[in-house]
Amino acid sequence: MAAVLVALGAGSASAHGAVSDPPSRHYGCYNRWPNGPSQQMATEDPMCYQAWQAEPAAMYNWNGLFREGVAGNHQAAIPDGQLCSGGLTFNGRYAAMDKPGAWVAPNRPSRFTLNLNDTSSHGADYIRVYATKQGFDPKTQPLKWSDLELVGQTGRIPTGTRTPVEINAPGRTGHHILYTVWQASHLDQSYYACSDVNFTDGGDPTITTTTTTTTTTTTGNPRRAARPPSE
């Protein structure tokens, strides 16, 4: 327990937020099982059980899955197969999040509102949300950039305890991964999150996916001008 508390204290000072609804894998494991591994967890939520067994600090530091200095080059910084762990950031603390398996996946329609919880109100240069393509199997396949399609995004916005991003992911049914890239505004800090969902209505694959861009002028941090991000 002492080691866990040390890890928690070390990470909390530099931790800021995560996708809360539908919950990112590490946030969901902490939120559902705040007391750590149990036989009930092993039976009902085996992917969280393996994550807790691998590294409890990943859940206690649920708001700290980020990298610094990426400069918008997310695909260069995060290799295929390591998207959910932010490219094994913090010496692989979140590596268990990359494992394919039967992660808990709440039901969602093809159009819904994703929420991000920014516990420090750092704001966003942008938030982008991708969904896996139909045919991808999260239970057996590690996530690659080529598996993803953009299904929601914002421009520069202030964020808070519930920051909505409108998602439109037509033509999908069953278990999918939503991959969120949140570029914080206070520093060059990029947050990454894998959220599992079960699409229930299938959508209409003939509808073209649209996204909404919101631009809000904010004060502060004058040294970081908004710039078009690259991937």
Q: What is the DSSP string of 22-90?
A: TBBHHHHHHHH-TT---HHHHHH-HHHHHHHHH-HHHHHTTT--EEE--TT-HHHHS-TT-TTTTTTHH
**pLDDT tens per residue across span 11-31:** 333 448 889 999 999 999 999
Q: Give the mean pLDDT of 161-165.
A: 86
Indicate the pLDDT class of residue 10, thresholds 50, 70 and 90. very low
Residue 93 has pLDDT above 90, yes or no: yes
Distance in angstroms (rounded) separating the CA atoms of residues 98 and 118: 23
pLDDT at 76 over 60: yes
Residues 176-217: tens digit of each pLDDT: 999 999 999 888 899 999 999 999 986 444 433 333 333 333
Structural domain boundaries in the chain: 2-199
Mean pLDDT score of the chain: 83
Q: What percent of the chain has pLDDT over 70?
A: 81
Whole-angstrom distance, CA of residue 209 vs CA of residue 173: 15
Least confident of 113-122, 169-178, 213-222: 213-222
Q: Higher confidence at residue 218 or residue 120?
A: 120
Pairing between β-strand 163-168 and β-strand 148-153 as defined by DSSP bridges: unpaired
Q: What is the pTM of this model?
A: 0.81
For 2-199, CATH gives 2.70.50.50
